[in-house]
Chain A
Amino acid sequence: MAIKTTSIAQGGDGGRAVAEEKKGFRLNVFTGLIVGVLGYLFGHWMGNAIAGGYQQVVGSGQNDVAILLGFIFGTIGWFLGLGILNYPIQKMAGIEPPAEKYEYEPGVMKYFRYTLDNKVVGIQYLFGMLFYFFTAGLLAMGIRTELLSPTNHIWGPATYLEIVGEHGTMMMMMMTSVVMGPFGNYLVPLMIGSKRVAFPRLEAAAFWFTPAAYIILLSALWQGGFQSGWTGYAPLSIQQGVGQDAYLFSFALLGFSMITSSINMTATIINYRAPGMRWSRLPMIAWGMITVAFTMLLSVPILIDGLYVMGLDRSVQTAMLYAGHGGSSFLWENLFWFFGHPEVYLLALPGFGLTMEILPVFARKPLFGYRTAVAGMVGVAVLSFFVWQHHLFQSGMNPDMRPLFMLTTELISIPTGFIYLVGLGTLWRARMRFDVPMLFMLAVFFNFLFGGITGVYVSDVPVNVTVHGSYFVMAHFHYTIMGQLIFAVMGAIYYYSPLYFGIKLNEKWGKIHFWTMFVSFNSTFLPLFVLGLLGMPRRVFEYAARLQHLNQWVTISSYVLGLSLTFFVITFVWQLAVTRPKSPLNPWQSRGLEWQVGYPIPPGNFDKIPVILSGPYEYGDPNALPVADLKPVEPSAVGVSSGGEI
């Protein structure tokens, strides 16, 4: 059960009512949409007024200035209509905003409003992310359908590339938040013993960027799409129609979402840990979140800069990404991959955080090599900034630097290997329980192994000559992202449903979902390695006739994968909305602090700030202290340093 807030008093006094709530009409997603549309129309009108006479606009009939200004004002309108800007505007105007109040709010309307409760934001993110994931997944079905035949076409080549671009961009931008949004925001305060997050407004705003980005990105389909793929290489992306503006603007919006979300996550984990929550006791999800947050904070601004440059080249005819006129197509490649490669790891790290969090619960053993696990995550995060040019080995750019980037890329195998050591060590002489979440976590290790090992091939420059830009690379990153991240997320949904919704999802249905998804996933993506090695490039709608059988196998497997995920959606929604199979408290017998607060989680998470007494993974030690004292008498007497307020 979530709670309703209108705002939160200064100083983190999350649980206390300090003012009367205003009754009556409250801003919501519908008012956001209305004001957003008005904002778009205003921006578009302004763009036409400003740039309607540009030679380029008159000549081509395409006014990118109007489209981009429409998106900018549309987004501002969306935020105004949701009430997100009320607080900063009031503050700037010197008006003291009304104080906040926490209380239970029944019904679902709270999920359609800007709200400051980390648990409501977590649920908003969960359903938002699932929605975006399934949209992009549906587009993937479109791609695979086209590839049933090497010569007969379902879509034209333009539509095919629109679908490819939409699928890639949607997945790569949205899935950056698939763990931090639903799990980081919801769980981290509970796990570190905090009543709140550091910056609830930033956290909530981070979510509301995502529907705007989703709508704008999809709108490209009605504007001719963009045929540049998610990588948006210039000058192709400069050459494209207005669909490319939707790409660059929505990606930038998601960039802002990642930054705001990361600022909040970093500040929360550093400052809001309860007494006794030492760094050596920090749960793995929190480690995953803080490493990802740092990675995002340092890499995403570069993406936004690159998109800004692309926007200028497209709208006001600068030539920064354009060869021969003072610019260079290499500039975009560098800016994009300086973000793009850390991004790949910031998709992987949260998945590992979830996996290492859940694995000990079902292995009934402590996490093996806790410090090694942390070193692995930090190592991956740091090294991720030194590898981006491995995407450009054949580009002709800095060819003498290739040995260095080969080395740095291969070095990443070492911290990633740490995580495997932790996984194997945790399974060693365990007493494994094969509930559905555990099956997904084991599958994470199985799948990522293919992704990791093929990464060694891709990073070797001579082998890269054969596999760069081929289906081999495509299979490689789908194994690391879908095989790892999405499997971890699915397992986490089964694992955390009792805590989030008070229901325990049906074990039998869960196992049907798991096995069909696991088998069809591997059946879809394993043959793609072979297709790549046999010479099939990415993003083509026609391919060699000799590759048809393998492609058909892959397409049929992908349909089964789609059906498996559909089965999950149906069973999940059915159990959530109709049958609601009641779960006992803490059905997995987890030691995690988040499971100790009971269901429904009280407003402000804890009555009193708990005192952490031991680590979360002390399974198998009968003398282990409970993870925390939830009703400490005199917490300050414990004498353990803490950033969290009491």
Chain B
Amino acid sequence: MTTTESTSEFTQAEGRSHVRKIVGIWLVVAIIADYFVWFVYGPHMPPGAMTDQARGQQFDIKVISVLAIPVLLFLWTFGFYSIAKFRGGRDRPDGYYVKGNVKTQTAWYVITATLVLFLAGFGTYELIVPAGAGGGEGPSPIWTPSTPVKLVVQVIAQQWRFTYRWPQFGGMETTSINLPVNTQIQFDVTSIDVIHDFWAYQLGVKADANPDVNNVAYAKTLQLGRFTVRCDELCGIWHGAMYNYGNVVSQQQFYNWATQMQKQNATVTKLLPKFALTYTPSYTGAGGGYYPSGDPNGTTA
């Protein structure tokens, strides 16, 4: 630290007094803000708690918020305090001549590095333990659920709708989706034309639907309720209209619905290509072998 005669008015005692005030104000507002974030707003934070994965994401948002908000508030407190107190003017001399402070700078480096490394470690833990946290894990997931998968749902995206295939129900295809509660589910997400994204908001599931790629995501349902499915990668003109709704229902209701759909769709299911993890698109980018009759370039199923 270098001082000169013009800065002799800037005493150390005065500096410490500023620091005490800034830290005092900051501590009070940070504690209040964190209390509200964790206890008041926390339980209502998106994406909710319909699945294990959604609950994990909600927990992560809460943890990051209670760490990030004090940082934000510290910078605000410091900034607004400075604006209020450290004012000058054309007729006033220049400010405190100081070009650095080893202690302050070192403390800053250490604190920010610690925070960042903690967050990276925390994020990794929260990614691995809940089996990919609901995100797409590609064709060969390395983080799988600890309990066995009970239900496999294939999500086939195309311009501009989602269809669902159920390999455990004869490979039938439906345009609607229902899921049983308290069940470990595996989503196999793929596309038969361009890149889409299967985003089941309340389930905390998001996986890109890539042509020729099987993208696996897991979720364990915990609560009954309705969920929204939206396409989350720009996929062309009707991207904004590519959504539908699903329900998490009781296991019995699900079984009844699925078996009924299987019977109802039996004649259509016979015409579909054999169940596979991916379906290659054609040169026209539409359907490939999936809808042979409508696509002259497609291979017959």
Q: Produce 1/0 per residue, B111-136, CB < 8 A to A.
A: 01101100110011011101011111
Docked pose: A417 CA to B119 CA in angstroms: 15
A158-B237, A414-B113 in contact; A535/B206 too (CB < 8 A)?
no
B155 contacts partner chain A, Cβ-Cβ < 8 Å:
no
Docked complex: B202-229 residues within 8 A CB-CB of A: 204-208, 210-216, 228
B83 contacts partner chain A, Cβ-Cβ < 8 Å:
yes
A231 contacts partner chain B, Cβ-Cβ < 8 Å:
yes
Partner of A370, one of B92, B99, B133: B99
Docked complex: B171-222 residues within 8 A CB-CB of A: 189, 193-195, 197, 199, 201, 204-208, 210-216
Partner of B82, one of A239, A372, A428: A428
Docked pose: A368 CA to B236 CA in angstroms: 49
Q: Least Cβ distance of A164 to chain B in Å?
A: 8
Q: Are A324 and B212 in contact (CB under 8 A)?
A: yes
A538 contacts partner chain B, Cβ-Cβ < 8 Å:
yes
Q: Are B94 and A535 in contact (CB under 8 A)?
A: no
Docked pose: A95 CA to B127 CA in angstroms: 66
Docked complex: A302-329 residues within 8 A CB-CB of B: 322-325, 328-329
Contacts of B204 in A (CB 8 A): 465-466
Q: Are A623 and B4 in contact (CB under 8 A)?
A: yes
B271 contacts partner chain A, Cβ-Cβ < 8 Å:
no
Q: Are B100 and A369 in contact (CB under 8 A)?
A: yes
A442-B83, A470-B232, A622-B5 in contact; A413/B112 too (CB < 8 A)?
yes
Q: Are B135 and A461 in contact (CB under 8 A)?
A: yes
Q: Least Cβ distance of A34 to chain B in Å?
A: 37
Q: Name the CB-closest residue of A to B101.
A: A425
Question: What number of A-B contacts does a CB cutoff of 8 Å give?
Answer: 315
Q: Name the CB-closest residue of B to A463.
A: B60
Contacts of B283 in A (CB 8 A): 325
Partner of A468, one of B75, B124, B206, B240: B206
Partner of B211, one of A329, A363, A541: A329
B149 contacts partner chain A, Cβ-Cβ < 8 Å:
no
A445 contacts partner chain B, Cβ-Cβ < 8 Å:
yes
A235-B285, A542-B241 in contact; A429/B141 too (CB < 8 A)?
no
Q: Are B95 and A365 in contact (CB under 8 A)?
A: yes
Docked pose: A418 CA to B82 CA in angstroms: 18
Contacts of B4 in A (CB 8 A): 620-623
Q: Name the CB-closest residue of A to B235.
A: A236
Docked complex: A421-469 residues within 8 A CB-CB of B: 421, 424-425, 427-434, 442, 445-446, 449, 453, 456-457, 459-466, 468-469
Q: Least Cβ distance of A475 to chain B in Å?
A: 14
A420 contacts partner chain B, Cβ-Cβ < 8 Å:
yes
Q: Name the CB-closest residue of B to A366.
A: B99
Q: Are A396 and B207 in contact (CB under 8 A)?
A: yes
Q: Are B135 and A406 in contact (CB under 8 A)?
A: no
Partner of A456, one of B5, B68, B133: B68
Q: Least Cβ distance of A474 to chain B in Å?
A: 12
A369-B100, A413-B116, A535-B201 in contact; A399/B94 too (CB < 8 A)?
no
Partner of A236, one of B82, B137, B236: B236
Q: Are A161 and B46 in contact (CB under 8 A)?
A: no
A323-B212, A410-B119, A429-B95 in contact; A469/B86 too (CB < 8 A)?
no
Contacts of A233 in B (CB 8 A): 194-195, 233-234
Contacts of A228 in B (CB 8 A): 234
Docked complex: A508-536 residues within 8 A CB-CB of B: 533-535
Q: Produce 1/0 per residue, A387-418, CB < 8 A to B.
A: 00000111111111011001100110110011
Q: Are A461 and B123 in contact (CB under 8 A)?
A: yes
Q: Name the CB-closest residue of A to B201.
A: A535
Partner of B208, one of A161, A238, A395, A470: A395
Q: Are B136 and A323 in contact (CB under 8 A)?
A: no
Q: Least Cβ distance of A466 to chain B in Å?
A: 5
Partner of B7, one of A158, A399, A620: A620
Of the candidates B45, B86, B139, the one having the most CB atoms from chain A within 10 angstroms of its own CB is: B86
A110 contacts partner chain B, Cβ-Cβ < 8 Å:
no
B98 contacts partner chain A, Cβ-Cβ < 8 Å:
yes
Docked pose: A431 CA to B82 CA in angstroms: 9
Q: Produce 1/0 per residue, B30-61, CB < 8 A to A.
A: 00000000000000011100000100110011
Q: Are A323 and B228 in contact (CB under 8 A)?
A: no
A430-B82, A537-B230 in contact; A365/B281 too (CB < 8 A)?
no
Of the candidates A231, A399, A407, the one having the most CB atoms from chain B within 10 angstroms of its own CB is: A399
Contacts of A160 in B (CB 8 A): 240
Partner of B68, one of A161, A396, A453, A619: A453
Q: Are A457 and B213 in contact (CB under 8 A)?
A: no
Contacts of A410 in B (CB 8 A): 116, 119-120, 123
Docked pose: A330 CA to B135 CA in angstroms: 17
Docked pose: A138 CA to B15 CA in angstroms: 48
A157-B237, A402-B127 in contact; A368/B210 too (CB < 8 A)?
no
Docked pose: A316 CA to B210 CA in angstroms: 23
Q: Are B72 and A449 in contact (CB under 8 A)?
A: yes
B103 contacts partner chain A, Cβ-Cβ < 8 Å:
no
Q: Produce 1/0 per residue, A222-235, CB < 8 A to B.
A: 00000111010111
Docked pose: A535 CA to B193 CA in angstroms: 25
Q: Least Cβ distance of A154 to chain B in Å?
A: 13
Docked pose: A141 CA to B234 CA in angstroms: 20
Docked pose: A464 CA to B208 CA in angstroms: 13
Q: Are A431 and B241 in contact (CB under 8 A)?
A: no
Q: Are A396 and B212 in contact (CB under 8 A)?
A: no
Q: Least Cβ distance of B266 to chain A in Å?
A: 30
Docked pose: A414 CA to B110 CA in angstroms: 10
Docked pose: A468 CA to B235 CA in angstroms: 15
Docked pose: A623 CA to B53 CA in angstroms: 63
B89 contacts partner chain A, Cβ-Cβ < 8 Å:
yes
A540 contacts partner chain B, Cβ-Cβ < 8 Å:
yes
Q: Are B232 and A537 in contact (CB under 8 A)?
A: yes
Q: Can you report 16 A-B residue pairs in the complex whose CB atoms are below 8 A from each other?
A: A233-B194, A366-B98, A399-B137, A414-B113, A414-B116, A424-B79, A425-B101, A429-B15, A430-B88, A445-B79, A459-B123, A460-B123, A461-B135, A465-B135, A466-B206, A540-B240
Interface residues of B (CB under 8 A from A): 2, 4-7, 10, 15, 18, 45-47, 53, 56-57, 60-61, 64, 68, 71-72, 75-76, 78-79, 82-83, 86-90, 92-101, 104-105, 108-109, 112-113, 115-116, 119-120, 123-124, 126-128, 130, 132-139, 141-143, 189, 193-195, 197, 199, 201, 204-208, 210-216, 228, 230-241, 280-281, 283, 285, 288
Q: A236-B195, A430-B82, A469-B233 are in contact. List 16 more A-B contacts (CB 8 A).
A: A160-B240, A227-B237, A236-B194, A324-B212, A364-B88, A365-B98, A368-B100, A394-B136, A414-B113, A446-B79, A461-B126, A461-B135, A535-B47, A535-B201, A619-B97, A620-B4
